[in-house]
Amino acid sequence: MTATLPPTLVDSHTHLDFADFDGERDDIVARAAEAGVTRMVTICTRLANEPRVRALAETYPGVFYAAGTHPMSADKEPLATLEHLLKLAENPKFVGIGETGLDYHYTPESAPIQQESLRVHIEAARQTELPLIIHARDADEDMARILAEEHRAGAYSCVMHCFSSGPELAAAALDLGFYLSASGIAAFKKSEALREIFASAPVDRILVETDAPYLAPPPHRGKRNEPGYTALTAQAIASVWGMDYADFARQTVENFDRLFTKAHLS
């Protein structure tokens, strides 16, 4: 008998360059494919590391990449320039801008430079027509305000990566036409409130991700995450929209392709 293939999925946000995966990347990409995760976007959080992240994307056919300055590094790294981001976007495997955003939980003291950096990334997303990848933590009010101000100045697309903020920011993002991405957090037993926020969102605006090596879903919570576990998160939250796993997986892939228009296998 021919084995039934698992539903196809995309891990919309992972960090393959992190040292947690050293010596194992071939196996990790292979395990992801076995779980149905045939594509992934690996995220560069410091522009100085972009060559290494790009090399990973160029090594594996199903791996794409994005680059930007993480908000927690905004005061430690040179300010990203529009020209640099536009140049990076010329690479065929470069599919998104970021991650960027605001983090007032760990680095509230650098809020002004975080906001300046965020606006540079937004302009790059606007000019390249690539999706902006947002990290937001304990900064919901400023995040919603800046995203809306910038959208009024000129439309751009965006995903709220690893969404775990409040319902007001979710509504503000959805009102702008943006997407929410569910990580393993949404599958945690005590995340009922977060799942309720996702339930209020249209299913055609939902992505799934790992943020690996962080935030592994059950039954691996507390251990190293990896892209293949995208399937565990998708299986755990499909019922939020009253869907079976296969249908939900198919919907999230359609959503990903609509947003990440460059991330197609040749």
Q: Is 161 annotated as a binding residue?
A: yes
DSSP 209-244: ---TTS-PPTTSTTS---GGGHHHHHHHHGGGGT--
Q: Is 105 annotated as a binding residue?
A: no
Q: Which amino acid is at 204?
A: D
Query: CA-CA distance, 10 to 263, in Å (whole number)?
Result: 10
Q: Could you tell me where the DSSP H helices lie in the chain?
A: 25-34, 50-59, 82-88, 111-128, 140-153, 167-175, 192-199, 230-237, 245-259
Query: CA-CA distance, 105 to 150, in Å (whole number)?
Result: 23
Before 131, cis peptide (omega within 30)?
no
Q: Is 211 annotated as a binding residue?
A: yes
Query: CA-CA distance, 65 to 37, in Å (whole number)?
Result: 15
Q: Is 135 annotated as a binding residue?
A: yes
CA end-to-end span of the chain: 30
Instruction: Mark the binding-site residues, compressed into ranges.
Output: 13, 15, 99, 135, 161, 211
Binding positions for a divalent metal cation are 13, 15, 99, 135, 161, 211
